[in-house]
Amino acid sequence: MEKKNFDVNSLIGFVLIGGILVWMLYMQEPSEDAVQAEKAKTEAAAKEATEKENQEDTTLEQATEEMAVANAQDSLAFEKLKNKLGSFAYSGTLPSAKENTTVLENEVLYLEVSNKGGYITEARLKKHTTYDSLQVSLIKDGNSSLNLQFSSENRLLNSKDLFFEPSISTNGDNKVLSMKLKTSENAFIEYRYELLPNEYMLNFSVQSQGLDGVINTTQPIYLDWRLKGYRHAKSITYENRYTRLTYEYEDEDHDKLSPSGEDEELEKDVTWMNFRQHFFSSMLLTDTPFKEVALSSVDLVEDEEVDTVYTKQYGAKMLLEPKAGGLSYNMNMYYGPTDYQIFNDYGRNLDEAMPLGWGIFGMINKYIIIPLFGFLSGFLPAGIAIICLTILIKLLLSPVQYKQYLSQAKMKILRPEIEEIREKYGDNKMKIQQETMKLQNAAGASPLKGCLPALLQIPVFYALFTFFPTAFDLRQKSFLWADDLSSYDTIAQLPFHIPFYGDHVSLFPILASIAIFIYMMMTTGQTMQAQQQPGMPNMKFIMYLSPLFMLVFFNNYASGLSLYYFTSNMITIGIMLVIKNFIIDDDKVHAKIQKKKKQPKKQNRFQRKMAEMMEQAEEQKKAQKRK
């Protein structure tokens, strides 16, 4: 067996390894500074954690307190709202209880309906512009309101101050907007708007549900509609002349308020009302006639140079009658053109909302002028259509005008004999008149016969006078130098304003005045001397007054109307020249008169009576002279 000896090298190795281990342990032991730094770091971290925890506790406590305050404030606000609105305080807590709007539109009409009040706050016509190229807005910037006033739980409430909840749906191609003023989810007042494609007329209804005992039906319930009309034309004075409140009441009777100043009426059983603004209308129609309506109109135009925004302030306060189930009124609203064709298509006598003239004048417009002009303007420019319309009317009336000129020609031929009568009887005016009437009667000529054909033309002339200012088809249609045939034309702008005339010069009225003057010279001038008898008007004065009237007052009228008068008188002058030079022979007319004078003339009852009266007057005059 091998003997084991002590290994010195191994001992030295173990000693060295142990020393190294002791040195490493010594080097890894932290210094006093390091220990203090670590301790400080640990303490800071602990302190931060404690502060954060304390801060979170404070924030939570504060939030809890604020929530408690908010809840208390909401409760207080709701209590105040409830004290003020009663059951309708519910509407103030809905998400819709803020002043937002809902849009309802089709191809021709844009509407905005406000949550507050539930009524239309903007109505804009997409296809029509004002004189300054802006889209026509009938309602905007707070110029209109619709308010349902009723009593509830000993409170007088106004729907315009309350918030409605909107909801949009469809009914076929129709767009439907429901605005509900709620007391609960199942109890409410509803405004329902239904807009049809391509229509200016929309369905509108006011209904109530589940409000028995909430709305006091023993107190009056009113629907109050207000609107201020905006200016849309160059001349606010001219536009305002045709801006008027019209309505239907009591078995299809129609009436209107005054176009100037202030006017009020209390009417019963009203079925529709039109807040007309010349070429545009805002209308409310009802299937169930309103038992009573207080209508009002205030003229807002005092000075064209100053007032350039509004025309009139309209109002209609309608008394509603609740039924057993509550309120139930089916109505319509119309925001669109004042156009006869559109109104006539809707029926319901809406054409009565237009100023087409009364009686025979309106009938001529409805059944002759409007259809004829509609046909012509369908394929001709508006200005050419006016000229063609004028030519057709003048041709239609030419037989009447022939009779008128023939009578004037007879009076011209009799003038020398009438002068002889005047010279013969001197200052005896009664005898002059008596003998003149005998001469005229024997010859079959009389100033009255010349006037009669003219009187027959008056209904047509007046119908056209009312047609042109209201013809929507003329609006913004240009012709020659006129930019808009529904408004005045301008060839010069004046640096000042002339009363009754304006601040511009229109050419069509000037041309019409010249034509009228020439016509008056050809007609009135021929018989002026023959008609200067006692009781006869001063024809020379009339001859100068008519053109002057046209020149001054038509300067602000529709240029289409002046174009018609100019064309009409020029055609009349042409017809008279043709009749004078190619149809009527003065020598032949004179021969016929002489022949007729020789024939025994039987007087009618009126002529005999007049002759007797004149003879009696002559005898009385002679008797007075003898005394």
Instruction: Mark whether 99 and 160 lie in a shared domain.
Output: yes
Q: What is the pLDDT, as a whole number, of residue 199? A: 94
Instruction: Mark whether 240 and 99 lie in a shared domain.
Output: yes
What percent of the residues of the chain are helix, what percent strand, and what percent coil, each to the nearest 5? 50, 25, 25
Q: Using a pLDDT cut of 70, give the percent of the chain over it.
A: 73
Q: Among the three residues 329, 355, 381, which one is the final residue of a domain in this structure?
A: 355
Tell me if 466 sits within 8 A of 560, measured CB to CB: no
Instruction: Mark whether 380 and 343 lie in a shared domain.
Output: no
Q: What is the pLDDT, as a whole number, of residue 81? A: 65
Centre a 10 Å sphere on the Cβ of residue 261 and count the other Cβ atoms it contains: 9
Which residue shows structure tokens 């309906």?
113
Q: Summarize pLDDT for 312-324 with one digit per residue, the tens.
A: 999 999 999 988 7
Q: Among the three residues 295, 324, 355, which one is the final residue of a domain in this structure?
A: 355
Residue 177 β-bridge partners: 168, 193
Instruction: Mark whether 166 and 299 lie in a shared domain.
Output: yes
Q: What is the pLDDT, as a whole number, of residue 400? A: 76
Categorise residue 292: left if φ over 0, alpha if ψ from -120 to 50, beta otherwise.
beta
Three-state SS at 111: strand
205 — phi, psi (to 5°)? -140, 155
Instruction: Mark whether 335 and 286 lie in a shared domain.
Output: yes
Place 17 in a pLDDT band, splitting at 50, 70 and 90: low
Q: For the chain, how long is the longest CA-to-CA vector?
A: 208
Of 546, 545, 537, nearest to 447 (Cα)?
Answer: 537
577 or 61, higher pLDDT: 577
Provide the residue range defining the domain that includes 199: 95-355
Residues contacting residue 366 through CB under 8 Å, at least 6 positions apart: 340, 351, 356
Instruction: Mark whether 379 and 281 lie in a shared domain.
Output: no
262-266's contacts with Cβ under 8 Å and 24+ in sequence apart are: 262/296, 262/297, 262/298, 262/299, 263/296, 263/297, 264/294, 264/295, 264/296, 264/297, 265/294, 265/295, 266/292, 266/293, 266/294, 266/295
Instruction: Mark whether 325 and 393 lie in a shared domain.
Output: no
Q: Is the pLDDT of residue 548 over 70?
A: yes
Q: Token pair of 364, please?
A: 């001529």
Domain contains 533: yes
Instruction: Mark whether 470 and 344 lie in a shared domain.
Output: no
Residue 323 β-bridge partners: 326
Q: Summarize pLDDT for 109-148 with one digit per residue, the tens.
A: 999 999 999 999 999 999 998 888 889 999 999 999 999 9
Domain contains 364: no
Q: Using a pLDDT cut of 90, give the percent of the chain over it.
A: 32
- In CATH, what number is assigned to the domain containing residue 295? 2.70.98.90
Q: Summarize pLDDT for 288-319 with one digit per residue, the tens.
A: 999 999 999 999 987 766 667 899 999 999 99
Instruction: Mark whether 374 and 284 lie in a shared domain.
Output: no
Three-state SS at 121: strand
Domain contains 164: yes
Q: Token pair of 479, please?
A: 């012709």
Q: DSSP string spanning 28-96?
A: HSPPHHHHHHHHHHHHHHHHHHHHHHHHHHHHHHHHHHHHHHHHHHHHHHHHHHHHHHGGGGGGGGSTT
Domain contains 557: yes
Instruction: Mark whether 401 and 288 lie in a shared domain.
Output: no
The overall pTM is greater than 0.85: no
Which amino acid appears at position 311 of this protein? T
Instruction: Mark whether 401 and 428 lie in a shared domain.
Output: yes
Q: Is the pLDDT of residue 565 over 80?
A: yes
Domain count, the chain: 2
Instruction: Mark whether 376 and 505 lie in a shared domain.
Output: yes
Residues contacting residue 64 through CB under 8 Å, at least 6 positions apart: none
